[in-house]
Structure 1
Amino acid sequence: MVRRIRLTGNEMRYIALFENLTGELANDCIIDDKRDRIILIVKPGNAGRAIGRHGSRIKLMRDMVQKDVEIVESADTPIEFIKNSFSPAHVKEVRITERLDNRKVAVVTIDQRDKGIAIGKNGKTAERTRLLAKRYFGIDNVIIV
């Protein structure tokens, strides 16, 4: 179940800029000041067009906002959404369990060759996935195995 999301004025401005530059609609925008990045959520199948040939559209936006810009495709299920968040890493399996203390945990099995991609530099991709899983599906932790 996707949760209700409120956007700040800055997030709405970044969405408007993104849509003007790429011609693609963004469903959500998260400003991550800790990592100096903007995470944009687009409809399934639209990430490639939003990024542009050789990353041209995203590079243009990155230059304009002076922040890293990341694109994640949305999904209806938490399993697909987590897989999309780890892209381009090959996700073998996602298991979502509820612990005795009612906390939801996603255990993600990643192809051994892609673990570095899945974790990201200084854990930024893993952190992004945790942030998005919590925001959209109330999953408290994402564990990579």
Structure 2
Amino acid sequence: MSVKLTTNEIRYISLFETITSATVKDCIIDDEHNKVTFLVKKGDMGLAIGKRGSTIGKMQKSVDRSVEIIEHSDDPGEFIRNLLSAATINSIEFSTDAKGNKIATLDVDSKTKRAAIGKNGQNIQRARQFAKRQFEISDIIIK
């Protein structure tokens, strides 16, 4: 599946790759929360963060936004765990509904469920966007 990026997303990716030398697979700009989330190639997290967070700090100053970095994985289960790393995910089940849509159902520890959902649902919403764009997973359900 190919991801269609906006002009702004392409600009941010170019700047991020120039500053960090990490390879970006996808990017989501959240204007409402003044945040940019980058999906970097597996193994590039260290490059993206830099020593003591120096590289990510440069990026945040350059774009004047909060910057979040998530590591990509070719395994959908590991990918979802990376997306919601603040939560303790006990298990992930993949299924298909009657319309043929892929759905991921997560069993999340009750103590970290709030972290998975995020303030006003922003974490789970971002996770759904990336899962849809990268693996054609239509929905992520937390139980």
TM bucket, shorter chain = 0.7 to 0.9
Q: CA RMSD in A?
A: 1.8
Counterpart for residue 42 of structure 2: 44
Residue 54 of structure 1 deviates from its aligned partner by: 3.7
Distance 1:112 1:103, change over 3 A: same
Q: Identify unmatched segments of 5+ residues in structure 2.
A: none
The offset of 1:94, in angstroms, is 1.0
The Cα of 1:83 is off from its aligned counterpart by 1.0
Q: How many residues are treated as equivalent by the alignment? A: 143
- TM-score, length of structure 2 as denominator length: 0.87
Which 4+ stretches in 1 moved above 3 angstroms? none
Rounded Cα–Cα distance in structure 2 between residues aligned with 1:64 and 1:96: 39
Per the alignment, residue 21 of structure 1 pairs with 19
Kindly state the Cα deviation for residue 4 of structure 1 after the two structures are TM-superposed.
0.8
Q: Measure, in 2, the Cα distance between the counterparts of 1:130 and 1:34.
A: 17
- Aligned partner of 1:120 in structure 2 is 118
In the alignment, is residue 89 of structure 1 matched against residue 91 of structure 2? Answer: no
Determine what percentage of the aligned residue pairs are the same residue.
42
Deviates more, 1:29-38 or 1:84-93: 29-38
TM-score under structure 1 normalisation? Answer: 0.86
1:70 Cα offset (Å): 1.4
Which residue pairs with 1:63 in the alignment? Answer: 61
